[in-house]
């Protein structure tokens, strides 16, 4: 094998691809725009929806309570809901979202409280509907305050302290660092996007450099030069790998940009008050963890590049190659999605499953968890798969029935 020839082929393929608008779009434009678009859209929309829903006082119908003016007046005075008189068709009104919830006082509610007898207030809502949920929590908040006031008054009436019914308090505190929290929320999505981009970035050049060349008739031209098949595979493989890693790099740069510039930009866009809340929703990731993710993605990119080259070489035309490779995207998405699912945790066996292992480890890494034996196992096994895939690609290039299948 002649290293200079491999580099000559690589250099030519690189120049060739950089002159191709389609490569530039798939390698640079899409990954660069994808990250800010996804993160921005998710953050912006969710913040906006939540804030808007919170800002609007939910319309709540109050039924009954004619004989309980005290409780009823207290509820109507509660500023966080907009109370309206009850109508007969209240169920339909909840369903068509004209009313978010209905509160029903039982008969003689005030009197029952006075006598210390049990009484039940009913809340009707629409399960799963976000704003209906807000209304219910608001009503519940009011009634738990009201109950507390009642209890305090009763205790005071009997000369007992407040601790009589609340002998101790429970306080919940978070010890996970902020990046751990970010890692769990968004950390699953980022390595998944890296894997997907690493694959899609390699897909187009792999097809173009094999089936595309067959179709255009340039494959035979290069085969009759003194280049050996091994040199040819390696040159082409390096190009596909470059495209794959270039795609990941572009998306990484764009993601770091999104996270570091996104916060201030959001503040500037939606005003300091809301912007700060929105910026808090942006992921905080361990930068060292991100570097480690890239290290794991490296053998993964080698693996993808070699497999894609070998498969698309079988195809006679670019179109045929597309029909072989497109279903593979699903194969990539499945383990990557499994990695994002809550509860799926990395262990020794899963560390050997290609794609899934990198996806799971990335989720841990960006949230600051370093489990060295697993990482070594993943890097080792992925490198092994990558080497096997590359050997397979070389074998395919040496098969006459594959390379001359036209």
Partner 1 sequence: MIEARQLTKTFRDRKRGEIRAVEGVSFRVEPGQIYGLLGANGAGKTTTLRLLATLLQPTRGGATVAGFDVVTQPAEVRARVGFLAASTALYARLTARETLAYFGRLNGMAEADIAARTRSLADDLGMHDFLDRRCDKFSTGMKQKTSIARTLIHDPPVMIFDEPTLGLDVMAARTIVQFVRECRARGKTVIYSTHIMSEVEKLCDVIGIIHDGRLLAEGSLASLRASYRENDLEEIFVQAVGGLAAPAGGNVNPP
- Check binding of 401 to partner 1 (CB under 8 A): yes
CA atoms within 13 A on the CB side of 13: 30
The one segment of 144-152, 186-194, 365-373, 398-406 that binds partner 1 by CB under 8 A: 398-406
Burial class from Cβ neighbours inside 10 Å (0-12, 13-18, 19+) for residue 4 reads exposed
- Check binding of 14 to partner 1 (CB under 8 A): no
- Check binding of 218 to partner 1 (CB under 8 A): yes
- Check binding of 140 to partner 1 (CB under 8 A): no
Shortest Cβ distance from residue 223 to partner 1 (Å)?
5
- Check binding of 100 to partner 1 (CB under 8 A): no
Choose, by CB under 8 A, the member of 85, 116, 217, 327 that binds partner 1: 217
Q: Which is nearer to partner 1, 46 or 218 (CB)?
A: 218
Shortest Cβ distance from residue 4 to partner 1 (Å)?
8
- Check binding of 225 to partner 1 (CB under 8 A): yes
C-beta of residue 39 within 8 angstroms of C-beta of residue 235? no
Question: Of 17-36, which residues contact partner 1 (CB under 8 A)?
Answer: 19-20
- Check binding of 152 to partner 1 (CB under 8 A): no
- Check binding of 402 to partner 1 (CB under 8 A): no
The pairs formed by 252-258 with CB atoms below 8 angstroms and a separation of 24 or more are 252/194, 252/290, 252/294, 253/32, 254/31, 254/32, 254/33, 254/34, 254/35, 254/36, 255/35, 255/36, 255/39, 255/190, 256/290, 257/36, 258/35, 258/36, 258/39, 258/40, 258/282
Shortest Cβ distance from residue 20 to partner 1 (Å)?
6
Q: Which residue has the tokens 């210390």?
A: 116
Between CA 226 and CA 236 the distance in angstroms is 16
- Check binding of 189 to partner 1 (CB under 8 A): no
3-state secondary structure 158-195: CCCCHHHCCCCCCCCCCCCCHHHHHHHHCCCHHHHHHH
Choose, by CB under 8 A, the member of 216, 316, 319, 395 that binds partner 1: 216
Q: Kindly list the residues in this chain that would bind partner 1 in the complex (CB under 8 A).
A: 4-5, 8-9, 12, 15-16, 19-20, 216-218, 220-228, 400-401, 404
């Amino acid at each position: 094998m002649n290293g200079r020839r491999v580099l000559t082929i690589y250099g030519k393929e690189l120049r060739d691809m950089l002159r191709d608008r389609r490569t530039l779009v798939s390698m640079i434009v899409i990954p660069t725009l994808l990250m800010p678009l996804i993160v921005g859209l998710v953050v912006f929309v969710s913040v906006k929806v939540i804030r808007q829903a919170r800002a609007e006082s939910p319309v709540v119908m109050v039924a009954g309570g004619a004989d309980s003016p005290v409780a009823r007046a207290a509820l109507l005075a509660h500023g966080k809901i907009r109370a309206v008189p009850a109508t007969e068709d209240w169920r339909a009104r909840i369903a068509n979202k004209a009313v978010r919830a209905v509160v029903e006082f039982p008969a003689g509610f005030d009197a029952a409280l006075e006598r210390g007898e049990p009484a039940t207030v009913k809340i009707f809502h629409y399960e799963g509907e976000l704003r209906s949920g807000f209304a219910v929590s608001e009503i519940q908040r009011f009634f738990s305050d009201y109950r507390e006031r009642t209890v305090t008054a009763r205790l005071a009436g009997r000369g007992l302290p407040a601790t009589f019914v609340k002998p101790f308090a429970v306080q919940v505190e978070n010890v996970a660092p902020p990046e751990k929290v970010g890692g769990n929320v968004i950390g699953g999505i980022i390595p998944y996007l890296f894997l997907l981009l690493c694959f899609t970035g390699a897909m187009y050049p792999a097809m173009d450099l094999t089936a595309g060349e067959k179709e255009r008739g340039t494959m035979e031209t290069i085969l009759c030069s003194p280049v050996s098949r091994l040199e040819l595979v390696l040159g082409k493989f390096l190009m596909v790998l470059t495209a794959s890693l270039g795609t990941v790099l572009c998306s990484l740069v764009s993601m770091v940009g999104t996270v570091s510039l996104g916060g201030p930009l959001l503040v500037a866009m939606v005003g300091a008050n809301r912007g700060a809340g929105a910026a808090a929703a942006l992921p905080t990731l361990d930068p060292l963890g991100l570097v480690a993710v890239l290290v794991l993605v490296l053998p993964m990119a080698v693996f993808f590049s070699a497999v894609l080259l070998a498969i698309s070489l079988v195809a006679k035309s670019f179109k045929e190659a597309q029909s072989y490779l497109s279903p593979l995207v699903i194969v990539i998405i499945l383990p990557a999605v499994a990695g994002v699912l809550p509860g799926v945790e990395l262990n020794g066996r899963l560390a050997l499953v290609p794609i899934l292992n990198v996806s799971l480890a990335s989720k841990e890494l960006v949230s600051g968890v370093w489990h060295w034996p697993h990482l070594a196992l993943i890097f080792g096994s992925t490198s092994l798969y990558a080497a096997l895939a590359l050997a397979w690609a070389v074998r395919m290039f040496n098969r006459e029935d594959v390379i001359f299948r036209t």
